[in-house]
Structure 1
Amino acid sequence: MKGLFITFEGIDGGGKTTQLALAAKWLREQGYEVVESREPGGTPLAERVRELVLDPSLPLTTTTQMLLYLAARSEHVDKLLRPSVEAGKIVLCDRFSDSTLVYQGLSQGKSLEELALLRNLCSFASAGMAPDLTLVFDGRPEVLVRRRAARGVSDRYELQGLDFQQALRKGFLALAEAEPERLQLIDAEGSQEQVAASVQQAISALLHGEK
């Protein structure tokens, strides 16, 4: 079969990482070959970049963060993502270009119309690679961030507070509204089982040509 590229997006605390692992297990049980990855990350070089950009002790500007993310993405696509899809595998990735558009674009006050340059840079870094399906885990930030805090997780973005998470949510919702064929909202406030069922339904539709 033709390989597929599916990305998991959304604000912090939405359960993307857990749901990606569950989706990978479910797909493997059906006989699919699955690759799990994340951004920034996925290769040794990109994982080093991840350590830099998520370290809250480093005073990185938004532009510096963006350029580091794009460098890591170029490496990630070249070394792992594209070869895996071309080999017929299903690639599940925790974040991709949509996060760049939201975190370094929309949440910083830019409108969808002002994202042209950032979109071009993302396309350049990924050599035109784009997801076949993007699942956006959505929910009220005050609920989702509380879950994340209960696990003792914090990074550069978590420390920016609830207002920033609200801006992120608004950005992801704007992208989903602009590209409803690719971006599908998943209610992240449900139980793990309910969210997993929604994820499986969305991926099944893609696998069976219903999207």
Structure 2
Amino acid sequence: MTSRSGVWITLEGGDGSGKTTQAELLERWLIDQGHTVLRTREPGGSEVGQLIRDIVLHHRGDIAPRAEALLYAADRAHHVATVVRPALERGEVVLQDRYLDSSVAYQGAGRVLDATEIRDLSLWATDGALPDLTLLLDLDPSVARARLDSADKPFDRLEAEKLDFHTRVRRAYLALADGAPERFLILDAAAPAEEIAAAARDRVASLL
């Protein structure tokens, strides 16, 4: 992305891996360091995106896999153009829950679509935008499911998928990280939260 002075950090991982907890801890630390932080998410990081989020995560009926992928890409195009790019141009740290790697993992591997086509769709939608750093919270899907069960709240459409779906998602994430080690930091999401946060802070500090 051109003409920007901010830093863009995304958090990725399967459902139940602890992204929200780590985003909160990292945001608090960044603010303490004097940075202006924008917390956002996909889908749903804009008014238009919230409408799309309601469809892709809470629609009661089936959504064709390609339609689902296109909905995520539409959200992403609007989100980057209206939220992410302006914040980076203002020099802020953008801390984002999920980006295009989620689509490659969930719609590509999970829905068994072509991963390259899914990635290319998102890159076209966002004019090639990629984050400076992606924190991947890696967790065995069976452990993640136990966490979700203990939360005692209704599952969304993706959380409700079977274990083999989430196993494919995890494998896809690890393959993405292996292919771009300069952008990814893999974090053991089974470790204590503060230990994970410390490792994330170390990498972010070197980036800043």
TM-score w.r.t. length of structure 1: 0.92
> Alignment length, in residue pairs?
204
Name the counterpart of 1:52: 55
Distance 1:6 1:34 in 2: 10
Name the counterpart of 1:75: 78
Instruction: Report the alpha carbon displacement of residue 193 of structure 1 after superposing the two structures with TM.
Output: 1.1
Distance 2:187 2:179 in 1: 16
Name the counterpart of 2:120: 120
1:29 maps to 2:13 = no
Deviations, residues 102-144 of structure 1 (Å, cap 9, x unaligned): 111123445xxx5332222111111221110001100111112
Name the counterpart of 1:11: 14
Name the counterpart of 2:200: 199
Instruction: Report the alpha carbon displacement of residue 74 of structure 1 after superposing the two structures with TM.
Output: 1.0
Name the counterpart of 2:149: 149
Q: Which letter does structure 1 place at the counterpart of 2:198?
A: A
Deviations, residues 57-85 of structure 1 (Å, cap 9, x unaligned): 12101111111111111111111100001
Worse overlay, 193-202 or 25-34: 193-202
Instruction: Report the alpha carbon displacement of residue 56 of structure 1 after superposing the two structures with TM.
Output: 5.1
Give the share of equivalent positions with the same residue, in percent: 39
Report the secondary structure of 2:160's partner residue: helix
Distance 2:149 2:141 in 1: 12
Name the counterpart of 2:68: 65
Distance 1:25 1:106 in 2: 33
Instruction: Report the alpha carbon displacement of residue 93 of structure 1 after superposing the two structures with TM.
Output: 0.4
Tell whether the 8 Å contact from 1:10 to 1:16 is kept in structure 2 after alignment: yes
Tell whether the 8 Å contact from 1:37 to 1:91 is kept in structure 2 after alignment: yes
Instruction: Report the alpha carbon displacement of residue 163 of structure 1 after superposing the two structures with TM.
Output: 1.5
Worse overlay, 152-161 or 61-70: 152-161
Distance 2:152 2:162 in 1: 15
Name the counterpart of 1:176: 177
Distance 1:177 1:109 in 2: 20
Tell whether the 8 Å contact from 2:69 to 2:118 is kept in structure 1 after alignment: no
Distance 1:161 1:119 in 2: 24
Instruction: Report the alpha carbon displacement of residue 87 of structure 1 after superposing the two structures with TM.
Output: 0.8
Distance 1:76 1:32 in 2: 22
Instruction: Structure 1 unaligned segments of length 5 or more: list them.
Output: none
1:95 maps to 2:98 = yes
TM-score w.r.t. length of structure 2: 0.93
Distance 1:22 1:166 in 2: 27
Distance 1:143 1:8 in 2: 19
Distance 1:60 1:192 in 2: 35
